[in-house]
Structure 1
């Protein structure tokens, strides 16, 4: 199924919830809608589903105009944060309901398979009210997967689950999506989730579609500072700089040898991902001395906030490290690992792929 949006927007009273955008989803692939809360992700998904009509523009499915077609007339599966299950039906029957409607002959096997993958197999005989919120969310997700609709819309479906279970289910969902024929749209606020799930990513901010394309391309070549900020966790370090004869000049006389386009503006912004900063010097690295302001251990990584001459930087270090607050530390950065944005915020230079 090919879903195309042509100059669609959504205006409610004096407020614009979604600015005009064009988008054609890659068929039978996963597209992640990535953006902060109120970026416009849910509004866009409701237009895709037919729950709402756009204020302007067209929605097409396989070339056919379905802009005014209500959701009940479309073959769409949806799971939202506010999960919905049939309260009087068992978990088994909730999951089986779309299979029964289309006369599937292997209902029990399919229900058991989905329940096992989503870790709800022990609850198949229970009613939804007897489950926790996270378990009910997984029931709704299983029913949507069982429907195997041409278009599947998932609005932060794992948000109510604990960290460990989210990690496990992301892997399962990736396999389930790959095995199906659905065009999947998956909304999330987490850049990591987009990298794990998305064949394609659409980055949204304040009701605008900023960039759409293969996930790796959008991550490695964000077209603007706004995209880079949205697709970085922790947020990308941003440093004010100027074009110089040998590349880029940063505060305190720090020089980065970065080849710039001939028509580069004088005022630049340098973007550095936290993972590009190290505490061990490598050939070609530039030293950035500073003092530790904060050190946070998260999972198997340590995030160190360092006040340097070029500004406060956050470094993501692999492993568990301990630093005394106020202690001296030197961060190292290779010039090939920086992003350069012009005065308008547009990307001029992206890091060399393959550098670590």
Structure 2
């Protein structure tokens, strides 16, 4: 740090300015600190290092931190309580894991999802959810009591899989639009009926555009929303 001690903030790079501002905020020992995307201008490696370090710094400081971010995984990493905002209004407030696993409505579920939440509109009839092409998704036992009606179901990208995860999982055929390979993971974008889905898989999966693949939906992990977007049910399994 010695070469930078005589510099003014304006002579520092954007990332250095952001780190300086963050350090100044923490060392003041204020009772309340507001942080608006404090890691946004940092390079990837440093951002990941600080994300791992900040929870320990916050815990040691004994200060209330209000941390604004557009990245759901950043909120999950920091823990504590989370308020989700949409169009200037708070849609839900509570323990971070609780908000992620049990959103009160579809707006919150979509806000707190990256990659985007997979959704599809379908009908419940008896013990099945009816999808396009005659595909039936068994209604989990805890949802037997909900009325037959039109619903939107949602599920996270990591709950869509190429291999059948269990006997309850239902296969559907979808068309690949593009595959994003990050190295350790692949994000496979799919079209199913009128829905656009993303599937998160481990390792490198290289599919051609327009290739048809069989994917599995696990009904135990679905969220159900009514026609007004209000949550009817959330998965009891860890999401």
Q: TM-score scaled to structure 1, two decimals? A: 0.63
Counterpart-to-counterpart distance in 1, 2:115 and 2:184: 15
Q: 1:173 aligns with which of 30, 54, 57?
A: 54
- Which residue pairs with 2:225 in the alignment? 341
Unpaired runs of 5+ residues, structure 2, are: none
Q: Could you tell me whether the CA contact under 8 Å between 1:256 and 1:286 is conserved in 2? A: yes
Q: Could you tell me whether the CA contact under 8 Å between 1:290 and 1:306 is conserved in 2? A: yes
- Which residue pairs with 2:41 in the alignment? 160
Q: 1:136 aligns with which of 13, 17, 24?
A: 17
* CA deviation profile, 1:179-201 (whole Å, cap 9, x unmatched): 11111100011111111113110
Q: Which has the larger radius of gyration?
A: 1
- Which residue pairs with 1:274 in the alignment? 157
Q: 2:197 aligns with which of 307, 310, 313?
A: 313
- Which residue pairs with 1:61 in the alignment? none
Q: Could you tell me whether the CA contact under 8 Å between 2:125 and 2:148 is conserved in 1? A: no
Unpaired runs of 5+ residues, structure 1, are: 1-119
SS at match of 2:161: coil
Q: Could you tell me whether the CA contact under 8 Å between 2:126 and 2:148 is conserved in 1? A: no
Deviation, structure 1 residue 125: 4.1
Label 1:125 to 1:215 Cα distance change in 2 as closer, same or farther (>3 A): same
Deviation, structure 1 residue 300: 2.6
State how many pairs are aligned.
Answer: 236
Matched, 1:329 2:210: no
Q: 1:232 aligns with which of 113, 116, 129?
A: 113
Q: Could you tell me whether the CA contact under 8 Å between 1:289 and 1:309 is conserved in 2? A: no
Q: 1:249 aligns with which of 130, 134, 144?
A: 130
* CA deviation profile, 1:36-58 (whole Å, cap 9, x unmatched): xxxxxxxxxxxxxxxxxxxxxxx
- Which residue pairs with 1:285 in the alignment? 169
Deviation, structure 1 residue 282: 2.5
Q: TM-score scaled to structure 2, two decimals? A: 0.92
**Which stretch shows the higher mean deviation, 219-228 or 276-285?**
276-285
**Which stretch shows the higher mean deviation, 174-183 or 301-310?**
301-310
- Which residue pairs with 1:184 in the alignment? 65
Label 1:257 to 1:145 Cα distance change in 2 as closer, same or farther (>3 A): same
Counterpart-to-counterpart distance in 1, 2:204 and 2:3: 37
Q: Could you tell me whether the CA contact under 8 Å between 1:339 and 1:351 is conserved in 2? A: yes
Counterparts in 2 of 1:42-53, with a 5 A limit?
none
